Amino acid sequence: MGVIRKLQAVGAARGYIFLCSVLLYLLSVIFPFPGAQVLLAVSSVCCLLAAFAYCSLVSKALSVAFVVCGLYFAHTSSTSWFHILTSFGSMSSLLCLFAVVPLIAIPVRVGHYEVSVSQVLQKRHLSDRKLYFTISAFAYLLGSLMNIATIPMMYHAVRGVVERSNLRDGKRFLVQSIVTGYAMPLAWSPVTAVVAAVVNVTRVAWLAVLPLTLIISFAGLALSVLLFKGSRGPAFQPESADVYIAAAAESSEETNAPTRGHSIWQIPIAIVAFIACMLLIQHWSGWSMLEVISILSIPFAAAWSALMGEGLSFVRQLARHHATVRNLHGTFAVFTAAGFFVSTLEHAQASASLNRTFVHVAAAIGPSVFIAVIPIIVIAMSMIGFHPVVSIALLGTSLHPSVLHMSPIWLSIALFGGGVLTFIVSPFNATLNVTGTVAQQSPWTIMRWNVKFCICFLVLIVAIVAIGQRLLPHWTL
């Protein structure tokens, strides 16, 4: 019983354990010191142990499988105990990103930008298709900085507008417009883990692929609007100002919701400012993009909140951030175990065999066809519970562009495309689960709603990378 109580105490304090590991990583980047690698590995093992009991069955199964397979590869390759230990800390940078980037959502929340979104929609006379596009565009803007927090914020901001429309299936309309809009910037936004993982695997400069990924994300947004089918005529008839003010006042009394917020058009300015700061710090310090984003997120969010006069609100929310980090138990467990597996696999004989298999397959079917299959592999892995970042890390051990005669640019686009689609179609991804919670729908139902768009967007990605590899096989920037 004493052991059980101790384990329960450790589990209850897991948020602080995760934060200590994150702070240790940030400290090791800013002020490198001897023994940092070992300390990070030990803290990662502590995170894995603290998180495991609270994980879902899928996360537990993946974590155990990764650790067991990693230990087997370490044994067969006669890996030293030092390397086995330090392998557990190989995903510290990505875990730090997951824990720190949500802080950028704090100024968006305390600035009440969702009120601006609702007011813009209330004042416009929009057809159903234009309403769909407008909601998707706002979700795109917020998703560029906020990631998963975009979904509940957008849903509650625009639900009233959609409910008062004459659409036949308002909930499906709302879910699809928000989810597709939110997911598209994940192909290029520097604060997303998929972008960081792909850049790390392919060694392509983020700025080099930014124009192409931006175009693809805009194309995906346009494709979503084109595929939308709704009733003709106006979806929403604007009400008089008196009616709107009365409704807003009533809503505010019931939910204590604010009736005024900062302009949504400040978000693009914040995105440009964040990217500019990131590039300047990266150039000045020599840190990787992942390290810069992890370090920049906190002061950037604090400065943004202070400029709005919400510095105290930011401090309050920052003090409660450990509760958010505590809920990342599945992420910390699976990513720590996956990082250990990938690190041990790289030194195992199985890695060489896998590399040879990839080379033979690419030679047999051609690099253009091979690269077109990669997004499909990422999606298939997500359907059995793999996070796209884990899938990209696993594939990265054998996807060597020079050996496979592929352009690293097109390989990056293939991985970006596959990663983005997992957020829209995988029922195991947090996106569909969070959306299902706020919309009171099953993740499988939402997946079914999104299948048509996913197939069309996948065809677009496959065509781009296959044709690009065919016409520009050695393109580098």
Question: What confidence tens digit (pLDDT) does each residue in 332-380 have?
Answer: 999 999 999 998 888 777 777 888 888 888 889 999 999 999 999 999 9
Which whole number is the average pLDDT over 76-103? 88
Who contacts 80 (Cβ-Cβ below 8 Å, separation ≥6)? Answer: none
Give 194-252 pLDDT, tens digit per residue: 998 999 888 899 999 999 999 999 999 999 999 987 654 444 444 433 333 333 333 33
CA-to-CA dists, residue 69 to 73, 151, 295, 338, angstroms: 6, 36, 33, 10
Could you tell me which of 370, 367, 371, 388 has the C-alpha nearest to residue 379? 388
| pLDDT tens digits, one per residue of 428-477 | 888 999 999 998 899 999 999 999 999 999 999 999 999 999 988 777 66
Pair 51, 64: CB distance under 8 Å: no
- Give the model's pLDDT for residue 258: 58
Q: Which two tokens stand for residue 164?
A: 């008062």
pLDDT digits (tens, 9 = 90+) for 398-422: 888 888 888 999 999 999 999 999 9
| Residue 178 scores a pLDDT above 90 | yes
pLDDT digit string, tens, across residues 37-50: 999 999 999 999 99
| Bridge partners of residue 234, in order along the sequence | 127
* DSSP one-letter string for 59-115: HHHHHHHHHHHHHHHHHHTT--HHHHHHHTTTTHHHHHHHHHGGGGHHHHHHTTHHH
pTM for the model: 0.86
pLDDT value, residue 7: 52
Tokens of 428: 């195991």
